[in-house]
Amino acid sequence: MPSVLVSTTINGDAVEYACPQDETLLDSLRDRVGLTGVKEGCGTGDCGACSITLDGRLVCSCLVLGVEANGREITTVEGLSDGDKLHPLQEKFIEHAALQCGICTPGFLIAAKALLDRNPNPTVEEIRYGLAGNLCRCTGYDKIVRAVQAAAKQMRKK
C-alpha cells in the first residue's frame, strides 16, 4: 500500500507528511515530522510518554494512526513554550527537579497542561488521578506533583 498524504496543524503550524497507513501517529511525529519530544515508552497505551493533544483532547499518540491526524490539530511538548519563554509547567519542573532521565517528562507536561486547562486548582489527589496514565521510573512522582501544584498556583495569578 502506498503512503498517504496527511495535512494537519501541529503546534499552530500547517504541516504535511506522507506515511504508511498502518503507521502510528507517534512514529509519524517522530520520524516524518521530526518532533522527537514525543517519546515511546511502551507503544501500548500504558506509560503516557507519547501523550499529545488531538483537537484539544489528551491521547496517547501510540494508539492513534498517523492517517487519523488528517485535518486535525495536534499539540506536542514542542508547542508548550512561547518562543524562548518556557511554559510555567516547564519552569516548575526544572525548579522542583521533577525529572531525572527525562523520558517521561514531555508526556507529563502535556498531561499536566490538559489537567490544568480543565481544573486550574486541582487537589493532590486530583493531580495523581489526572496523571495516572503517565509512568515515571525515576522520580517517585512526589516532585512531579509538587511541580504541577506550583505551576497551577503561578498560572492562577495571571
Ligand X SMILES: Cc1cc2nc3c(=O)[nH]c(=O)nc-3n(C[C@H](O)[C@H](O)[C@H](O)COP(=O)(O)OP(=O)(O)OC[C@H]3O[C@@H](n4cnc5c(N)ncnc54)[C@H](O)[C@@H]3O)c2cc1C
Comparison of 68 and 73: residue with beta carbon closer to ligand X: 68
Comparison of 20 and 43: residue with beta carbon closer to ligand X: 43
Q: Which does 138 bind (CB under 5 to 8 A by kind): ligand FES, ligand X, other proteins, none?
A: ligand FES
Q: Which stretch binds ligand FES (CB under 6 A): 10-18, 78-86, 93-101, 147-155?
A: 93-101
Which cell numbers hold the place of 95?
525548579
- Kindly give the residue spans of alpha helices, DSSP state H, lying in the chain: 25-27, 88-95, 105-118, 124-130, 142-157
Q: Quote the CA–CA distance of 25 and 18 in Å, as a whole number.
A: 11
* Burial classification of residue 5, based on how many CB atoms lie within 10 Å of its CB (0-12 exposed, 13-18 middle, 19 or more buried): exposed
Comparison of 67 and 86: residue with beta carbon closer to other proteins: 67
Q: Tell me which residues touch ligand FES (CB under 6 A).
A: 40-43, 45-50, 60, 62, 99-104, 136-139
